Structure 1
Amino acid sequence: MSNKILVVDDQASVRQLLQDYLSEQGFKVITATDGQNAIYTARHEEPDLILLDIMMPRMDGYDFLRQYRQERQTPVIIITAREEETDAVVGLELGADDYVIKPFRMRELVARIHAVLRRKDEASEKFALYREGDLVLDERTHTITMKNTPVSLTPIEFDLLRMLMRSPGRVFSRSELIDQLADSGFTGLDSTLNVHIRNLRTKIEPDPAKPLYIDTVFGVGYRFMKAE
């Protein structure tokens, strides 16, 4: 069964280009012209992945992410014409999984799409359960709970937390985390790893400023702390 991709861009030429190329690659492609249209379309079409432009009228990509991430955790790849790294970082902070900058190479974009979808599929096929204190990660259902309350994570955040929870107490260097996440499709930079760690702490720590679970080992990397 073909994966369904929602392309969100206010430029008709970009939508048509992506629709034609991705359709040739075997994807089912639907489109939206702005964030408001994308919210409606995503709710009804339930895409497997969203390609999201940032600069759009009515509702831009950032506002779309803010609203949509409250509802679902569908993988999102940002497409932006801006070259500043801060724009990509903002998108990642809001829950995007990856980003590409216009003009981009179609083969690279398709590779990123496959990587994100593969990461999503692999996560759903493994069945371990990890528990530390009030935090539970269930690979069978691909869910996180804190004190029995569901916690919404992006696919990258889920993979990162799972990696840390598999080896509590072990210190992972920053480069090791980036390398291991690359195996599951992560293509970000060292600075974007910071964003994902900060997002995780915001979502699972009682006090993100004084983390109980994800500990920083200065000059080295991070480790997951065992519950006391």
Structure 2
Amino acid sequence: MNVENLIYIVEDEVKLARLMEDYLMAAGYQTQTFYDGQMAFNAIKQQAPSLILLDLMLPGMDGIEVAKHTREFSNVPIIMVTAKVEEVDRLLGLEIGADDYVCKPYSPKEVVARVKAILRRAGQQPVIDVQPSSELIQVDEAKMIVQISNEKLDLTALEFQMFLVMFNEPGRIYSRQQLMDAIYNDHRVVSDRTIDSHIKKLRKKIAATYSDHDLIQSVYGVGYKYEPNQ
């Protein structure tokens, strides 16, 4: 089985899981389905797939725990499936670090479209951009890698996209809405708090490698910017 084309479906509703299998396979993906969170997590530890479609409510280990423990060792893209709209900020924010979410009931076609969008970003043509003002920072867009002083940052797909948007235009101030529009191409409604959570986590990861300067800066009352120079 080719892991580059493999989707893990973690869903305890058998009919829904099989429906997603059919749609994803029709779109050209290979699938493996788990009806139990613990079994899914054990499989992820053995072989991380291209993407995980992860239900929130699961027997054995719930989706939040699966995602949290997976993030301890892998940046595999995770799309959370939830019937609890009030959980969305938590799923996408600091606690979980999911890359996307869908709410039940959902359209299988919409889920396939989101899977394609995330994997398409990961499979873009290689572009290596070294910021002229600082050779310390390198970005490989195809591999979704940011390196500072040759040390790779452990970023999720959403964190990488957010960094890339600001990195490409140093000094430009982006409002929260502009960042939302840039990283969520389906124009969903996402709260300012979710964007702030992503920024906070991104800053923490950068600071762990490069603490000399705050590369992502807040502009009070406006938004955020990437500033390579002090």
Same fold (TM over 0.5): yes
**How far does the alpha carbon of each residue in 1:11-38 deviate from its partner, in whole angstroms, 9 at most, with x for none?**
2222222112222222211111222211
Q: For residue 88 of structure 2, what is the aligned residue in structure 1?
A: 88
Structure 1 spans left out of the alignment, 5+ residues: none
RMSD over aligned CA atoms reads: 2.7
Deviation of residue 76 (structure 1)?
A: 0.7
Equivalents in 1 of 2:45, 2:6: separation in Å? 13
The residue type equivalent to 1:161 in the other structure is F
The answer on whether the counterparts of 1:95 and 1:154 sit within 8 Å (CA) in structure 2 is yes
Percentage of identical aligned residues: 34
Equivalents in 2 of 1:170, 1:53: separation in Å? 37
Alignment counterpart, residue 173 of structure 1, candidates 172, 175, 180: 175
* TM-score, with length taken from structure 2: 0.83
The answer on whether the counterparts of 2:92 and 2:99 sit within 8 Å (CA) in structure 1 is yes
Alignment counterpart, residue 72 of structure 1, candidates 71, 74, 80: 74
Alignment counterpart, residue 20 of structure 1, candidates 22, 29, 33: 22
The residue type equivalent to 1:92 in the other structure is L
Give the 3-state SS of the residue equivalent to 1:30 in structure 2.
Answer: strand
Of 133-142 and 159-168, deviating more is 133-142
Equivalents in 1 of 2:187, 2:98: separation in Å? 12
Aligned residues, how many?
222
Equivalents in 2 of 1:146, 1:127: separation in Å? 13
In the alignment, does 2:56 pair up with 1:46? no
The answer on whether the counterparts of 1:168 and 1:226 sit within 8 Å (CA) in structure 2 is yes
**How far does the alpha carbon of each residue in 1:120-169 deviate from its partner, in whole angstroms, 9 at most, with x for none?**
112x6222234758654344653234454432111111111112122221
In the alignment, does 2:89 pair up with 1:126? no
Q: Residues 16, 139 of structure 1: CA spacing in aligned structure 2 closer, same or farther, 3 A cutoff?
A: closer
Deviation of residue 39 (structure 1)?
A: 1.9
The answer on whether the counterparts of 1:129 and 1:139 sit within 8 Å (CA) in structure 2 is no
Structure 2 spans left out of the alignment, 5+ residues: none
Q: For residue 9 of structure 1, what is the aligned residue in structure 2?
A: 11
**How far does the alpha carbon of each residue in 1:25-79 deviate from its partner, in whole angstroms, 9 at most, with x for none?**
2221111122221122224443211100111122111111111112221111000
Q: For residue 189 of structure 1, what is the aligned residue in structure 2?
A: 190
